[in-house]
Amino acid sequence: MTIFDKLREMVREFDEVERLIVDPAILAQPSRYAALMKRRGALNKYVSRFREWEETHQQRDEAVAMAAESGVDPEMKRLAEEEARNLAAREEVLVRELEDLVLSEDREGASNAIIEIRPGTGGEEASLFAAELLRMYTRFAERKGWTIEMLDQSETDLGGLKSATLSISGEDVFKHLRYESGTHRVQRVPATEASGRIHTSAATVAVLPEAEEVDITFRPEDLEIKAVRASGPGGQHVNKTSSAVSIKHLPTGLVVECQTQRSQHQNKDYALRLLRTRLQERAMSEKKAERDAMRRNQIGTGDRSEKIRTYNFPQSRVTDHRVGFTTHALQALLDGDLGEMVVALTEADRAAQLKAMAKAK
């Protein structure tokens, strides 16, 4: 599929969305209408630029035809040739812009994200590092003005993290965080290490595009919902009430739990959001083998098992192994200054896509 084939598909989808948003049946469904308006806004920048290219292309053809006509006044011929050159130059610029737009086009990229963080190898030190990663992403989200909701969190007695699941919402959240999925390795001297030896520990991160209600719907008979006793730190309320919620999706066997909120209703709502996202992740994984060469050539796999980055404390160095990017501003990065890292990963991904596209021509 060429870039222009993709753009024509977008035009057809845009026209269909335009038709749907004035349909009374859609107007009566606020969530569906909101999703369609969001998609319309995302498509509009591609469609408007493509239509500008179409108009420029047609005008250039007309100018070329006029310049080639026999018996045309010499001055008119000169003006037509000049107009054709100017339009051809503008057309080249528009083609480059359209290529950049299509390369960066990603419906998932505009999604909110759900992040899951768990300690890997390294015992308590891994749990402490997982807690630092949670803080890093939280600080980064705050810098971007995004909204953070903790869906599930379990801590160790020493302040480390057993696991955490959070939702981050805002503009292009998944686009900025998608490359964080994988194993994050840390090299440092743990606070509990008396001999001063450097230990290597790890934590795993999974970043998923959050499924919207209109993407994944449930039949009541497909869900087994239970109120359960919350566990872990949290005081008397957590220990003595059954406010936690466990939901099992019977067709797939997937089970999610949420216990972060005092209200059982809120925990149920958060658990349903998490279930939608995990079902969407499963569907995406099933389609992974069908992805084209361009997607397969992008950086990393998004697999939690892939070692993507090393945080070396003695040298204050952070290295992303997928793109060879290194920074010595380790503490700033852990404080949420991920901007330079995100740019490096995004640019590397774009270069990989351009390379794959060139091979496909």
Report the domain count for the chain: 3
292: confidence class by pLDDT, cuts 50, 70, 90: very low
Which residues constitute the domain of residue 146? 109-210+302-360
Domain boundary among 261, 286, 311: 286
Per-residue model confidence (pLDDT) at position 36 = 93
202 lies in the same domain as 350: yes
Give kind and range of the element (H or E) at residue 272: helix 264-286
**Are residues 236 and 93 both part of a single domain?**
no
Name the strand (E) or helix (H) holding 246: strand 244-249
CA distances (Å), origin 199, targets 305, 314, 318? 20, 11, 16
Token code pair at residue 131: 């807690």
The answer as to whether 172 is a domain residue is yes
Q: Is the pLDDT of residue 240 over 90?
A: no
Q: 95-124: per-residue pLDDT in tens?
A: 888 877 777 655 555 678 889 999 998 899
The answer to whether the pTM exceeds 0.85 is no
Whether 117 and 202 map to the same domain: the answer is yes
51 and 193, same structural domain?
A: no
278 and 308 together in one domain: no
71: left (phi over 0), alpha (psi -120 to 50) or beta: left
Domain of residue 115, CATH code: 3.30.70.1660
